[in-house]
Chain A
Amino acid sequence: MYELLGAGIANIIQLKYLIPLTIGTLVGVIGGALPGVTITMTIIVALPFTFGLDPLQGLSAMVGIYVGGSVGGLITATLLGIPGTPSSLATMFDGFPMAKKGEPGRAIWLGIWASFYGGLLGGIFLIAATGPLAAFALKFGPWEYFSLFVLALSMVAGLVEASLLKGLNAGMLGLVVTVLGNDPMMGVPRLTFGIRFLEGGVEFLPVLIGVFAFAQIMTDAEKMGGTQRIAQAVSATAVFAVSHAKVTWEILSRPFLLLWTSLIGVWIGVLPAIGGSAANMMAYDQAKKFSKHPEEFGKGTPEGIIASEASNNANVGGSLVTIMAFGIPGDAVTAVMLGALTIHGIQSGPLFISQQPTLAYGIFAAYLLAHPIMVVITGIAARWALKVITVPKSMLYPIVLVLCVVGAFALNNTMSNVYVLLVFGVLGYAMVKVGLPLAPFILGVILGDQIEINLIRSIMSDPDPWLFVTRPISGLLLATAVGSVVLALWQHHRAEAKKRLRAENAQADAADF
């Protein structure tokens, strides 16, 4: 493993990989810093640029975007009090007060270095866990795959913020998209309604691009129509210089905080659908609970910044594990990476690491190298990023849409994918408006074909349906799927009960008064 990793690093430090990795990290930092532009949107925009590159060049750029994007948000969160991405929301709680107190440099660099160490801890998990998990998955038959995919979908449906029922409905809608088009086993025409384009089924990338890009842009468009400018909260001439040794010591002198919040980040990354946005909040909450000075949180304590930033970068490592070991994307960003692999004809899944070791270890190396690059770029770009974010969204979003069109069209040089983009853009916006979560829907679209293929394969091998339950791994996976649904129901019930209790208490207080 170490030789392969060494070879991967030697490979990545070649200019032809280092350049896309650096550009990707820079683009990620800028995209992350722009409020309203998520890492998902940044990677969607970058996707068409990777078509003409070799797979490792493209994936290096994407890894750079993911790592850079997870850090970029802290710039605006700290200096403007506006989180650039949802994954830097908790950074703002303490970063912004610290910056306002006259220590913007300390706040920024605490975030950058915490991201660096958290990301590297996530990287250790990524490299150590992917191989064994993939080897374990190689023992899977179609029953186990079917159950694993069902588990992934049920977990996503249960973990999203909306109700479980809405999550399940969204996941099923995603599966419905995949039953359109010829059946994947024998190619028998099915539900095409005479539309030739549908015979090949609907590709997931234009669906993903359409759903995520339009859901974001159109929701923002609702508030547009006038001139919007972002006020500058921290003086543009503020000094960002700090003693790096001191900042690093501030982080490393809290090893438990760093390790625990990184672990939370990794674990949330491994779970499908919830990503950095949940990781930073959960880590912040944990840091506050374990702190000797919880009253300092929200007033500019370094612990809050470290917890949030270490967890959201460790989360990237966790997300990459599931895609590299099982071929299941943990979030929309890794789903785009999966799409990029597919475009180059590379099958992801448990065989990926053994069949494509150069690519797999190249991705590990890119992930590790992206971190020092990110430190340099974010350190330099923090001040400049403040200038970039004043670009009005009314100018930015149309350019994003053009790049979405290019991405969809260039998939196989057909306009049909552009129309798919539009149709699913409308659907994505409608889903947001009615409160159906997008993550389970997209995972349904991605996994649908695989669920069908493995279901039919298992029936062809042995028509006994009980095998899904009696085969130990498959049974365990299905039991976990049921368990995750029950847990989600219980959590929802508990949250409702708490809400009711709070409302009753508030009413009682009002009556007493």
Chain B
Amino acid sequence: MGRDAITGLVVFAASLFLFWATLGLERHPLVPVGPGYYPRLVLGATGVLALLLVVSDVIAHRRAGAPAARANYTLVAVAFAIFAIYAIALPYLGFRLATFAFLVAMPLALEPPRGARRRWMVVFVVALVVTVVTYLAFESYLQVLLPRGRWTGF
């Protein structure tokens, strides 16, 4: 089974599940069609198109194409994980601490310093400067409030 067929099946399964979830919705007396009318139209069409994607892939007998350039998926997973931790930690540590830690961790993950002391310094200084400047620019100048830490109060 090709990549498109798998994508189609995943989309089909998701639309089927959501379609099922709309079946219990009650109609509103003031509107001639219920709140489930439009979602069912959309999800039904999505399901049909997803199945068509599966069928077209199966008919096309897609062979595996030329091998893709070697991608560093581990690094992608690590980058997503670092971002997820940052997003989760933000309300607990506060914008300043969490952002500083993120701005240190992410560049080091994307491009390991391999022992170069100067690069460690550059990363730390950039993280500090960006955190401070962003915080001051938004909080003081642009009146945009940034998250305060529940644990740190900072």
**A residues whose Cβ falls under 8 Å from a Cβ of B:** 48-49, 51-53, 163, 165-166, 168-169, 172-173, 175-176, 179, 182-183, 185-186, 188, 190-191, 193, 217-218, 221-228, 392-395, 397-399, 401-403, 405-406, 409-410, 413, 415, 418-419, 421-422, 425-426, 429, 434-436, 448, 452, 455-456, 459-460, 463
Q: In whole angstroms, how far apart are the Cα atoms of A406 and B146 in the complex?
A: 7
Distance (whole angstroms) from the CB of A265 to the closest CB of chain B: 32
Q: Are A190 and B22 in contact (CB under 8 A)?
A: yes
Q: In whole angstroms, how far apart are the Cα atoms of A166 and B45 in the complex?
A: 13
Q: Are A398 and B31 in contact (CB under 8 A)?
A: no
Closest 9 CB pairs of A and B: A52-B142, A394-B111, A394-B110, A398-B106, A183-B35, A222-B71, A179-B39, A172-B46, A188-B35
- Select which of B7, B22, B99 is within 8 A of A436 by beta carbon: B7
- Select which of B3, B11, B26 is within 8 A of A188 by beta carbon: B26
| Residue of A222, A392, A398 most packed against chain B (CB within 10 A) | A398
Q: Are B143 and A179 in contact (CB under 8 A)?
A: no
Q: Quick one: given A221-B79, A434-B4, are A169 and B31 in contact (CB under 8 Å)?
A: no
Q: Are B46 and A176 in contact (CB under 8 A)?
A: yes
Q: Are A191 and B7 in contact (CB under 8 A)?
A: no
Q: Are B32 and A169 in contact (CB under 8 A)?
A: no
Residues 25-40 of B contacting A (Cβ, < 8 Å): 25-26, 28, 30-39
- Select which of B3, B52, B80 is within 8 A of A435 by beta carbon: B3
| Closest chain B residue, CB of each to CB of A391 | B126
Q: Are A429 and B15 in contact (CB under 8 A)?
A: no
Q: In whole angstroms, how far apart are the Cα atoms of A448 and B11 in the complex?
A: 18
Q: Quick one: given A185-B31, A221-B72, A415-B147, are A191 and B80 in contact (CB under 8 Å)?
A: no
Chain B residues near A434 (CB-CB < 8 A): 3-4, 6-7
Q: In whole angstroms, how far apart are the Cα atoms of A381 and B137 in the complex?
A: 24
Chain B residues near A426 (CB-CB < 8 A): 80
Residues 59-106 of B contacting A (Cβ, < 8 Å): 69, 71-73, 75-76, 79-80, 83-84, 86-87, 90-91, 99, 102-103, 106
| Closest chain B residue, CB of each to CB of A431 | B7
- List, sorted by A's number, 7 A–B pairs whose CB atoms are closer than 8 Å: A169-B46, A169-B50, A176-B18, A218-B79, A395-B107, A434-B6, A459-B33
- Select which of A188, A225, A421, A435 is within 8 A of B28 by beta carbon: A188
| Closest chain A residue, CB of each to CB of B82 | A398
Q: Are A223 and B71 in contact (CB under 8 A)?
A: yes
- Select which of B3, B38, B71, B141 is within 8 A of A52 by beta carbon: B141
| Closest chain A residue, CB of each to CB of B142 | A52
Chain B residues near A425 (CB-CB < 8 A): 80, 83
Main DSSP-derived SS at the B contact region: helix
Q: Quick one: given A165-B53, A172-B42, A222-B76, are A186 and B28 in contact (CB under 8 Å)?
A: yes
Chain A residues near B25 (CB-CB < 8 A): 188, 190
Q: Are B49 and A172 in contact (CB under 8 A)?
A: yes
Q: In whole angstroms, how far apart are the Cα atoms of A165 and B4 in the complex?
A: 10
Distance (whole angstroms) from the CB of A243 to the closest CB of chain B: 41
Determine if B1 is an interface residue (Cβ-Cβ < 8 Å).
Answer: no
**B residues whose Cβ falls under 8 Å from a Cβ of A:** 3-4, 6-8, 11, 14-15, 18, 21-22, 25-26, 28, 30-39, 42-43, 45-46, 49-50, 52-53, 56, 69, 71-73, 75-76, 79-80, 83-84, 86-87, 90-91, 99, 102-103, 106-107, 110-112, 122-123, 126, 130, 134, 137-138, 141-147
Q: Are A226 and B144 in contact (CB under 8 A)?
A: no
Chain B residues near A399 (CB-CB < 8 A): 103, 130
Q: Are B28 and A402 in contact (CB under 8 A)?
A: no
Query: Total A-B pairs in contact (CB under 8 Å)?
Result: 180
Q: Are B42 and A422 in contact (CB under 8 A)?
A: no
Distance (whole angstroms) from the CB of B103 to the closest CB of chain A: 5
| Residue of B84, B110, B123, B126 most packed against chain A (CB within 10 A) | B110
Q: Are A397 and B110 in contact (CB under 8 A)?
A: yes
Distance (whole angstroms) from the CB of A211 to the closest CB of chain B: 14
Q: Are B31 and A176 in contact (CB under 8 A)?
A: no
Distance (whole angstroms) from the CB of A412 to the closest CB of chain B: 11
Known: A51-B142, A225-B112, A392-B111. 11 other contacts (CB 8 A): A52-B143, A169-B50, A179-B38, A191-B18, A191-B22, A218-B76, A221-B110, A225-B110, A394-B106, A405-B87, A415-B147
Chain A residues near B49 (CB-CB < 8 A): 165, 168-169, 172
Distance (whole angstroms) from the CB of B150 to the closest CB of chain A: 11
Q: In whole angstroms, how far apart are the Cα atoms of A448 and B142 in the complex?
A: 32
Q: Are A394 and B107 in contact (CB under 8 A)?
A: yes
Q: Are B46 and A175 in contact (CB under 8 A)?
A: yes
Chain B residues near A183 (CB-CB < 8 A): 35, 38
Q: In whole angstroms, how far apart are the Cα atoms of A426 and B72 in the complex?
A: 16
Chain A residues near B32 (CB-CB < 8 A): 459-460, 463
Distance (whole angstroms) from the CB of B49 to the closest CB of chain A: 5
Chain B residues near A452 (CB-CB < 8 A): 38
Chain A residues near B106 (CB-CB < 8 A): 394, 397-398, 401
Q: In whole angstroms, how far apart are the Cα atoms of A186 and B26 in the complex?
A: 12
Q: In whole angstroms, how far apart are the Cα atoms of A410 and B122 in the complex?
A: 29
Chain A residues near B8 (CB-CB < 8 A): 169
| Closest chain B residue, CB of each to CB of A407 | B144
Q: Quick one: given A406-B144, A419-B87, are A169 and B11 in contact (CB under 8 Å)?
A: yes
Q: Quick one: given A225-B110, A425-B83, A456-B33, are A410 and B38 in contact (CB under 8 Å)?
A: no
Chain B residues near A224 (CB-CB < 8 A): 72, 75, 110-111
Q: In whole angstroms, how far apart are the Cα atoms of A421 and B45 in the complex?
A: 26
Q: Are B87 and A176 in contact (CB under 8 A)?
A: no
Q: Are A410 and B39 in contact (CB under 8 A)?
A: no
Chain B residues near A168 (CB-CB < 8 A): 49
Chain B residues near A169 (CB-CB < 8 A): 7-8, 11, 46, 49-50, 53
Chain A residues near B35 (CB-CB < 8 A): 182-183, 185-186, 188, 190
